[in-house]
Amino acid sequence: MMNKLRMGALIALAVVTAGPPAWAQNLRVFDWSGYEDPVFYPNYMKDHKQKPDFSFFADEDEAFQKLTAGFKADVAHPCSQSVVKWREAGLLEPLDPKKLKWWNDVLPGLKGIKNLMTGPDGKAWLIPFEWGNTALVYRTDKLKPSDVASLQAFADPKYKGMVSIGDNVDDAYALASLAIGVKDWATMTDAQFKAASDFLRKVNKNVRFYWTDGAQLNQAMASGEVELAWAWNETPAQLQAQKVPVAMNRDTKEGLSTWVCGYVRLKGGTAPDSEVYDYLNAVTAPDVSNYLVTQWGYGHSNKLGMAKVDPKVLKADGFDNVEKYTAKTLFQSPVPIALKQKMIAEFQKIKAGF
């Protein structure tokens, strides 16, 4: 989510235009910040000796707007809630599973997700890469487990100025939907949408800032500026490695959100097949799994690679069973376009204080 990954200064440095720079000859990847690290695609680097050209987006709605406005790249990294929308908008080229070395080695639990890897037409549209949670993360030296037993903590006035949630429509409304008891946001009624939006308005009063990049949030939690966050797995994984006292509570009363992200081929890309599939095969190779799990806190899509990760680590993070991992959560599946547009418009109003 996405990676389902997401950017302040980097956005300023990576402003995208309506097309690639004239000198760009490499594969062009449209991605979340952080995934440009060559450790995610070692085999591509081995074969091509240089990184692809990366451009970044903060969330998938921003990415969608840029792509529909004419921005060009070869591959992109959307998540489960966006694949159908991007496909129906004519932004994607189908993938050739015969050229995807690890297509048949995707975890069975991911293969079974409707409209993720393939569409109703039977064509392949996305190769999964990572999967994870958006959940409550807190400073364990500042807050007790009883303080964060419910997602209602985000709206509690006593935490004013201590909260951060992502500047991301999907994650925000996943939080709000869970908080009002909705697990399937695709069926949200008008009354439930109003209740979810009202909850976000209460949260907005407590928000110190809306984070746009995992590094930004990590720094704020490490310094103590933020004590309570709605965040991805990478935040506790990376901060715990730095001995910062944080934890992710996956057992709040209302639950948590799960997502799957992956790579798609964009229509209008100019890179040759060899580069596109070399990259897709590199990020989904089994030798990436251990790094993704242990350093970023995300599950990898490759069942062969996941089988080589320390079973104790997998169990501790809940990655030993995809079906169990996604049970009792709000899965970030596609929502009706009209509802998504309402979410986008309302979230902008909420952040502006209206």
Question: What are the pLDDT digits (tens) for 47-89?
Answer: 999 999 999 998 899 999 999 999 999 999 999 989 999 999 9
Q: Which of 41, 83, 46 is nearest to 63 (CA)?
A: 83
For residue 7, what pLDDT band results from cuts at 50, 70 and 90? very low
For residue 336, what pLDDT band results from cuts at 50, 70 and 90? confident
**Of the listed ranges 17-31, 83-97, 268-282, 316-330, the one predicted with least confidence:** 17-31
Q: So what's the pLDDT on residue 23?
A: 38
> Would you say residue 92 has pLDDT above 80?
yes
How far apart CA 161 and CA 33 sit, in angstroms, is 26
* Mean pLDDT, residues 179-207: 97
Higher pLDDT, 20 or 76: 76
pLDDT in tens, 98-134: 999 999 999 999 998 888 999 889 999 999 999 999 9
* Mean pLDDT, residues 169-185: 96
How far apart CA 182 and CA 199 sit, in angstroms, is 13
Q: So what's the pLDDT on residue 15?
A: 40
Average pLDDT, the chain: 91
Give the CA distances from residue 7 to residues 58, 213, 221, 267, 283, in Å, rounded to whole numbers and listed in that order.
6, 4, 16, 26, 22
Q: So what's the pLDDT on residue 25?
A: 58
> Would you say residue 236 has pLDDT above 60?
yes
Higher pLDDT, 293 or 322: 293
List the domains of the chain with CATH numbers: 8-131+259-331 (3.40.190.10), 136-257 (3.40.190.10)
